[in-house]
Structure 1
Amino acid sequence: MWGKRTGYDKEGRRVHIHFEHGEGQIEVVSPWVVNVFSPLYTQERESRAVEHPNAAFEECEFRLSERDGRIEIATEQLTVRVYDHFHVDFYDAAGTPLCLDYRGGRDPFVRRGNVDIAEEEGHDAMRTSGEHKIQILKAMEGGEKFYGLGDKTGPLNKKGYEYEMWNTDDPSPHVESHKSLYKSIPFFITLKERAAYGLFFDNPFKTFFDLGKENADYYYFGADDGNLDYYFIYGPDMKNVVTRYTGLTGRTPLPQLWTLGAHQSRWSYAPEARVMEIAEKFREHDLPLDAIHLDIDYMDGYRVFTWDGERFPDPAAMMDKLKEQGIKIVTIIDPGVKKDRGYSIYDEGLNKGYYATDRDGVTYVNTVWPGDSVYPDFSDEPVRRWWAGNQKIMTDAGVAGIWNDMNEPASFTGPLPDDVRFKNDGRETDHREVHNVYGHLMSKSTFDGILEATGKRPFVITRAAYAGTQKYSTVWTGDNQSFWEHLRLSIPMTLNLGLSGFAFNGCDVGGFSHDCTPELLARWVQVGAFSPLFRNHTAIGTRDQEPWAYDEATLDAYRKAMKLRYRLLPYLYDLMREAEQTGLAPTRPLVLEFPEDPAVHEIDDQFLFGSRMLIAPVVEQGKRHRAVYLPEGKWYDFVTGEAQEGGRAILADAPLDVCPIYVRAGAFLPTYPDQKYVGERKIEELLLDVYPGTGEYVHTQDDGESFDYRSGGYNEYRFEQTERDGELEIALEKTHAGYADAYRSFRITVHGLNASSVELGGQAVEFSSGTEGTTFSVPADGGRIRLTR
């Protein structure tokens, strides 16, 4: 495409390379991150994901030279070599190849037979993807593993699979053959024997990824339009790749603490009496709950920003009553605005020209829940401000969060035509360019509106997303099914979402469509209890999916898992704080923490909760035990306290109410006492579980809802432990004091250790020993504690 190189010049961080048939650019973002760009669609790079590019730039010297027919750009970490035809190769500082362009053309395997006949009978015949306007082929060494690409179906390791990025509302049962779902996150991580790196193809048009499926000699990514615009992100550790990628695209802000509690949803809870019944049943059955979600039937004729006056005659009063029980309301808001003269939202948007149009400038109309509907043009800043302002209608009534759905954008008559027009912040474009970022821009508008209206950290949940949406919204995996296969599938889907920057994610616990069986719900809640977003949600017409609708054994298992979730809330909150700082999600594949162990590279039915807890759920019907692989080191059984040596697989017992959980030696786990909802009681004594070994931990405490923590309004505590010569020494220190409601004491339980004495600063401390270990309380001022066996 580009032809022979004819020259080059340097402009700041950019190296402009001139070819016979085009231009290329290499921009040094940091010693580890390089952007490769060619203006095939617009002259300058435009991005909805990298919205504050200067924030990602680091001071970085680099050397530029020409040798042996190539341009060479070298930082202290990377060497980039650029050849004719804009071939770009990446090496580490020692000259070891990391990622090389494949010099041949595409050579897919042969597909035999007349597939037209199969398609006439109704089969989805397999076809090889055609040539694309942009195609970047990378050479395959053979041992690569691929992770990321959001919540695409299939196993954790995506090698040998192909996917398309085109946000798609597909309610059919999600299986490995799905190339597209609701989100387009064109970022993946390659793990090699020597190192890990990421590739982020920042192109909002429909993009294509083949990770060695059509030919084992190469993998490729491409697009049918837009610019060539991708980032090479060097680790060499996988964690560093995620941190640097989220440094570009943004990180999930610390959510309000209540949002990490339990959410209950259904299509639909209506009228008001049904909502109140659900709330009362949760309290009656001693089940913690923080939020109930209202689906589309709370609205007046599915008109967004309205309430059905018969079903919900006084929404504000209802939410006040729920508040007394510690329960908040989250309402769904879709983008489709009912075409209805006299409906104020429609009229205002029409009068101001805020809707997408056809090629002739006429407002585009399609069919969604309200019937004939129009689509706000979220690509235009005035429209985003208008939509943001409308959030106040909901928050003033008492709504605590907004759930954005159907924002692929979806319609009942198929995808919007390619030629639907959008203003695109002054550079008019069509649906092909806006489609994949439509939900992203809607989420941004919703986030901004809630922040302006309330001053609190916004809670937004979205189905459709693009790279970078994690700055504005939590996500779920969409309309799954109440199948065991979908429970199994949810684990690699949510883990890959986390690797793709979406730290705050989850799936519909119990499954959305179909009828959930008692055993499936009991096992699913044991996975959901460790998902950052926990929501039980099911579809219209399905059986009741609230836990009391099942037998006592199911209810007991559900309650046990939820109480554990609430006990671990301060730990999860710390993990979300870490996510804001590093981009690392709370739920992590084992390969992220143990990349040197080849035994974990393909494990996708276990995961880590932070770096300290290993979760091994049962995902098969009828199983009451399962094999668990423990990586190197010592691990404690969370239930029995028994110590296990890692680097091997063990057989774990798993009765219906038990999910096998293991905690790394040296871990601290901050926990809370039982609560029915976040904020039910003031926590004056933090419960701290200690697992003997060598380790450290940082715990923070703040008001749980404002952004004051960013200006110092938090308390920080540092814990360290060292085990040697029959003694365990624990150091507690308060390292920052910026929040008034501080803990008064820590109640510490040291598991697996029955002490003969406990001392704080040389003074004896009263303690008790039992099957759980040694328990004692100390003031929150800190100090040094010594336990002697």
Structure 2
Amino acid sequence: MFGKMKNFKVDKNIIKIKYEKLETKITIINSSTVNFFVPNFRKNQKSNAIENLIVEPCNIDVLKQDSYIEITTDNLVIKIYDEFKVDIYNKKGKIICEDYRGNRDPFIKNCAGRLDIAAQEGHKPTEHMDYKVFIPKKLENNTYFYGFGEKTGHLNKNGCHYINWNTDDPSPHGETYEKLYKSIPFFISMKDEEAFGIFFDNTFETHFDLGKENSKYYYFASVDGNIDYYFIYGPGITEVVKGYTNLTGTTPLPQLWTLGYQQCRWAYCPESNVIDIAKKFREKDIPCDTIYLDIEYMDDFRVFTWDNKKFPNPKKMIKKLKDEGFKLVTIIDPGVKVDKGYKIYDEGLKNGYFATDKNSIVYTNWVWPGNSVFPDFMNSDVRRWWANNQRIMLDYGVSGIWNDMNEPASFNGPLPDDIKFNEDGNIVEHKEIHNVYGHMMDKATYEGIKESINKRPFVVTRAAYSGTQKYSTVWTGDNQSTWEHLRLSIPMLMNLGLSGFSFCGTDVGGFGYDCTPELLSRWVQVGAFTPLFRNHTTIYSRDQEPWAFDKLTEDINRKYIKLRYKLIPYLYDIFYKGERDGLPVIRPLVLHYQQDDKTYEINDQFLFGESIMVAPVLEQGKKARMIYLPKGDNWIDYWTKESFEGGQYIIKEAPLEICPMYIKEGSIIPNFPELSYIGEKDIKTLILDVHTVKEGKFEYHHYQDDGESFEYKDGKYNLYSIKVNNSHKLNITIDLIKNGYNKIYDEVQINLNGTNKLVRKFENDKVVVNIDKN
């Protein structure tokens, strides 16, 4: 494909290598991140995921050796050969990523039977596929793969094959599903405690084979497009995630209320039903901040409209909800009903804002409204128009927008590959932009909300691409009320986090099918630690609200929803730090315990931040479970306060009302007092759960701002340093080290090791506590 190297040119961080048939470009982004680009489809390099690429000045040496070009940075040695073969070494000379030189050789499948008969029952062979872009890498034993967003299956993806093609499939998802709603062409590879990431920034249908085809190699490939991928060196997984989110963006700090409990179903209507749901939450003393309206609130499914029979006065209803502490979030789909006289359709048609077929005729397909057209979100004028339309809902008092069906989904077959989109003068086809259609819709929605209310936008999306985390929270789509889907959700959420999507969640209780009391009880125990904590179910299922079953189920829901509200300041701190370092809320144990090989494939435990480990029960009827405590730290049972040394397996009794939780020794967990909703009362006491170590020091930073505006970006926030020194005496010092927000705490309450409660007033922005250990 490339031929032999002819010559090369160096211009600061860019090395261009001319081959017999193609020219390649290598850009050193920084000493640990390198971009490899070949314009085999389009000359210009463009990205929908990376918007503000910063190429850092760094030490680079480029030498011509006998058979290769050697590029050296402070952390890497890259050797480039004929045919654009690439091998990457660490500074010690150990090869960490090697191109595969052998022939493509799929495993032999002995198919001696009647394939025609098998096909009649639906059994189909896996088809071998040739790709226009194909990058094979050598696969070593003991290699682990993580990432890829919301793909089903286990945490470690070794041996799997995945396809990135955003797909609306309402059937129950299992481990064998290769594609779902999101396309995140990023993965992390780890071997011998050394990790790197690869981000394949190609929006066509991409394929990733992690040794399924042949255990000698893994590959990433595409049906079309350019070779355009980033190598991101660790060696720690934390450094890889930071490097990847440095490229594609970190999850921004959300509004505080969005971290509360959220209730949804298809569909709460009419208005009296919505008011009744809200009333029950308050009567039953179950905290809740948000209620959603699904598609039934619209006038015949026309987006940006209301059904005036079901909702005669939306503004009045929303104000009534707000007076009780509830925010309302409404669904918006991209499909615009074909209907003369309907403002959105008329405007879009007049201005040429809809995608067209190959004959330049506006393309239509069937979605919820019936015959529908699709906004061309690749066009900046269309995005501005869509952004301005958000004001229609916001002026009613709506607090957030839920983007659904934006793969885009369609009922009369998928959109053809050759549907045309106008990317600001550059005509592109659907096969190229399908995977970023939802991403661009989310960007328009985010920008519209931000401009309208000047608060941090709350956008929820089903479809996404790398970088969508800058604009929207995500959920894992139409799951089912089954134990299998509860189990699958844990590695899905962990891998979403590793893929940059910190603000993520599932439909708690399951969307399709009927939930059971036990399943909802166990699922809400997971949901309490999920960044997006939303119970959602379908129109045909039985009721799934916390009180819909029996008293025990209601009590368990109340217990864990209240626990969630107690932990919100800790969660908010994680988001504050995550906007800066890219690390997610939900984390696999391997992220912080890479030196402990027992953590590499744990699918049913996760870290909530760095200090809390959750080990939920995920099987029907189970009342105890085995838990692994990572090596290097001691762990405290949240419920019993018993301490355990790390590096061992333990058995934990877990009756239905108990979700096993462990606090890392040497942790500080800020708490809220009991609340029915965020903003119910001014919080003037900083409550801290302090879990000391036997000997030593540790520190924590707690963040405080107004919980909604962008003023924190201008320095209007408070930062408290909490230092603990446990030596001859136990010394705890709380300092207000950044005073930029006008509401500071009056006092601090220290809950020491779950027993002693100490209350002290702030004096000169400082609290010092000394305790004699005797």
TM range, smaller chain = over 0.9
3-state secondary structure, aligned to 2:130: coil
1:672-691 pair list within 5 angstroms:
672-691=672-691
CA offset digits 1:12-61 (Å, max 9, x no partner): 3211111111111111000000000100111121100011113xx22212
1:778 aligns with 2:771: no
1:69-108 pair list within 5 angstroms:
69-108=67-106
Pairing partner for 2:726 from 699, 723, 726:
723
CA offset digits 1:171-218 (Å, max 9, x no partner): 111101110000000000011104110000000000000001111111
Tell me if the contact between 1:115 and 1:125 (Cα under 8 Å) persists in the aligned partners.
no
The AA in structure 1 aligned to 2:640 is: T
Measure the CA separation in 1 of the matches of 2:445 and 2:23: 38
3-state secondary structure, aligned to 2:264: strand
Cα distance, 1:788 vs structure 2: 2.1
3-state secondary structure, aligned to 1:526: helix
Cα distance, 1:11 vs structure 2: 2.4
Map of 1:588 onto structure 2: 587
Measure the CA separation in 2 of the matches of 1:116 and 1:283: 61
Map of 2:8 onto structure 1: 8
Aligned pair count reads 766
3-state secondary structure, aligned to 1:239: helix
1:708 aligns with 2:708: no
Measure the CA separation in 1 of the matches of 2:121 and 2:95: 46
Measure the CA separation in 2 of the matches of 1:478 and 1:16: 43
Measure the CA separation in 2 of the matches of 1:738 and 1:297: 44
The AA in structure 1 aligned to 2:501 is: F
Unaligned runs of 5+ in 1: 752-771
1:525-674 pair list within 5 angstroms:
525-632=524-631, 633-674=633-674
3-state secondary structure, aligned to 1:281: helix
Map of 2:335 onto structure 1: 336
1:743 aligns with 2:745: yes
State the percentage of identical aligned residues.
54
Tell me if the contact between 1:118 and 1:125 (Cα under 8 Å) persists in the aligned partners.
no
Tell me if the contact between 1:159 and 1:211 (Cα under 8 Å) persists in the aligned partners.
yes
Tell me if the contact between 2:88 and 2:95 (Cα under 8 Å) persists in the aligned partners.
yes
Measure the CA separation in 2 of the matches of 1:500 and 1:710: 24
Tell me if the contact between 1:108 and 1:128 (Cα under 8 Å) persists in the aligned partners.
no
The AA in structure 1 aligned to 2:759 is: S
CA offset digits 1:590-611 (Å, max 9, x no partner): 0001011000100010000000
Tell me if the contact between 1:666 and 1:692 (Cα under 8 Å) persists in the aligned partners.
yes
The AA in structure 1 aligned to 2:246 is: G
Map of 2:51 onto structure 1: 51
Relative distance call for 1:274 and 1:364 in structure 2 (3 A) is same
3-state secondary structure, aligned to 2:547: helix
Map of 1:386 onto structure 2: 385
Measure the CA separation in 2 of the matches of 1:74 and 1:576: 35
Measure the CA separation in 1 of the matches of 2:585 and 2:359: 48
Relative distance call for 1:390 and 1:721 in structure 2 (3 A) is same
Measure the CA separation in 1 of the matches of 2:126 and 2:720: 57
CA offset digits 1:607-664 (Å, max 9, x no partner): 0000000000000111111111111221111011111111101111111111000001
Map of 1:262 onto structure 2: 261
Map of 1:461 onto structure 2: 460
Cα distance, 1:782 vs structure 2: 2.1
> Please, what is the CA RMSD of the aligned residues?
1.0
Cα distance, 1:6 vs structure 2: 1.1
CA offset digits 1:450-499 (Å, max 9, x no partner): 00000000000000000000000000000000000000000000110000
The AA in structure 2 aligned to 1:53 is: L
Tell me if the contact between 2:60 and 2:71 (Cα under 8 Å) persists in the aligned partners.
yes
Cα distance, 1:273 vs structure 2: 0.4
Measure the CA separation in 1 of the matches of 2:649 and 2:656: 21
Map of 2:144 onto structure 1: 145
Cα distance, 1:779 vs structure 2: 1.9
3-state secondary structure, aligned to 2:770: strand
Tell me if the contact between 2:193 and 2:595 (Cα under 8 Å) persists in the aligned partners.
no
Map of 1:110 onto structure 2: 108
Map of 2:66 onto structure 1: 68
The AA in structure 2 aligned to 1:668 is: I
Cα distance, 1:119 vs structure 2: 5.3
1:303-318 pair list within 5 angstroms:
303-318=302-317
Measure the CA separation in 2 of the matches of 1:193 and 1:639: 36
Map of 1:19 onto structure 2: 19
1:157 aligns with 2:156: yes
Cα distance, 1:117 vs structure 2: 2.3
1:425-504 pair list within 5 angstroms:
425-504=424-503
Map of 1:419 onto structure 2: 418
1:504-515 pair list within 5 angstroms:
504-515=503-514
Measure the CA separation in 2 of the matches of 1:29 and 1:421: 33
1:194-213 pair list within 5 angstroms:
194-213=193-212
Cα distance, 1:116 vs structure 2: 4.0
3-state secondary structure, aligned to 1:550: coil
Cα distance, 1:124 vs structure 2: 4.1
The AA in structure 1 aligned to 2:689 is: D
1:788 aligns with 2:772: yes
Measure the CA separation in 2 of the matches of 1:677 and 1:785: 32
1:215 aligns with 2:229: no
CA offset digits 1:552-585 (Å, max 9, x no partner): 1111011000000000000000011111111111
CA offset digits 1:294-318 (Å, max 9, x no partner): 0000000000000000001111100
Measure the CA separation in 1 of the matches of 2:128 and 2:692: 54
Cα distance, 1:123 vs structure 2: 2.2
The AA in structure 2 aligned to 1:185 is: I
Cα distance, 1:372 vs structure 2: 0.2
The AA in structure 2 aligned to 1:746 is: V
CA offset digits 1:248-279 (Å, max 9, x no partner): 00111100000000110000001100000100
3-state secondary structure, aligned to 1:495: helix
TM-score under structure 2 normalisation?
0.98
The AA in structure 2 aligned to 1:85 is: E
Tell me if the contact between 2:75 and 2:90 (Cα under 8 Å) persists in the aligned partners.
yes
Tell me if the contact between 1:326 and 1:680 (Cα under 8 Å) persists in the aligned partners.
yes
Cα distance, 1:115 vs structure 2: 7.3
